[in-house]
């Protein structure tokens, strides 16, 4: 969401050399991928996901703070570009964690379906979020505060994953059942997993 409007936000807050700063913003994805690779297996996916959301929310708060400064000063420029790049790095960590957690929550037999439902839900609400972003882009401080609040709420979403953290645990290949009651329970669990992950992707898609 925010990344789509970053050039417009930079222009609205009267940042100089917009396209060079947008390039720095894009390059900030690289450290996000590096951090994801370093910590995805050394810590739990839930902790990494929550940390990415929390740090992203804090970065957007700083972005909003510096965006409220009078334009033209070095503090204004460095603060905006630095906090924007920090947000992009953190959002990359969160996105990589969401992708990993989503695929690990479902048995192999329904994994593609689960991923498709969650991803589609996130993209749908991400598209709807553009309507809100468009209405607030001329008042970037409010837009950034709203996005920060959304990411702060998403910080607690990993705590409600029905399957728990799958780090260093074998993934199920099939939906196991010994009788019709267990099969029904397992199917309900898969459905709950779809709903929980779709909600997480919906929240993430809005930012």
User: Which pLDDT score is estimated for 85?
Assistant: 95
Please, which residues have CB within 8 angstroms of residue 111's CB and are 6 or more apart in sequence?
103
Taken in order 135, 138, 142, 147, the sign of the CA dihedral is positive
**pLDDT confidence band for 133 (50 / 70 / 90):** confident
Question: How many Å apart are CA 135 and CA 112, to the nearest integer?
Answer: 35
DSSP secondary structure string, 129-148?
Answer: HHHHHHHHTTSHHHHHHHHH
**pLDDT confidence band for 202 (50 / 70 / 90):** low
DSSP secondary structure string, 177-190?
Answer: -SSHHHHHHHHHHH
Q: What does the pLDDT average to over 66-83?
A: 85
Q: What does the pLDDT average to over 167-192?
A: 54
Q: Which residue has the higher pLDDT, 192 or 133?
A: 133
Q: What does the pLDDT average to over 75-90?
A: 92
Return the half-sphere exposure (C-beta side, CA atoms, 13 A cut-off) of residue 66: 22
**pLDDT confidence band for 134 (50 / 70 / 90):** confident
Query: Could you tell me the domains of the chain?
Result: 3-205 (1.20.1250)
- Reported as a single tens digit per residue, the pLDDT across 4-17 is 889 899 988 888 88
- Model pTM? 0.76
Q: What does the pLDDT average to over 143-156?
A: 91
């Amino acid at each position: 969401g925010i990344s789509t409007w970053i050039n417009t936000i930079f222009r609205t807050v009267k940042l100089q050399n917009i396209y060079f700063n947008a390039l720095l913003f894009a390059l900030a994805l690289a450290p996000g991928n590096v951090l994801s690779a370093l910590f995805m297996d050394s810590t739990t996916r839930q902790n990494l996901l929550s940390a990415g959301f929390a740090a992203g929310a804090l970065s957007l708060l700083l972005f909003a703070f510096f965006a409220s400064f009078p334009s033209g000063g070095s503090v204004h420029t460095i603060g905006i570009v630095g906090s924007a790049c920090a947000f992009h790095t953190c959002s990359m960590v969160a996105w990589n964690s969401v992708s990993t957690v989503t695929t690990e929550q479902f048995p192999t037999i329904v994994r593609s379906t689960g991923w498709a439902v969650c991803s589609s839900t996130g993209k749908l609400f991400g598209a709807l979020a553009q309507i809100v972003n468009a209405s607030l882009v001329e008042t970037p401080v409010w837009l950034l505060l709203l996005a920060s609040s959304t990411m702060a709420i998403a910080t607690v979403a990993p705590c409600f994953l029905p399957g728990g953290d799958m780090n260093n645990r074998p993934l199920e290949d099939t939906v196991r059942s010994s009788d019709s009651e267990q099969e029904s329970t397992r199917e309900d669990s898969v459905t709950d997993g779809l709903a929980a992950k779709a909600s997480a992707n919906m929240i993430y898609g809005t930012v």
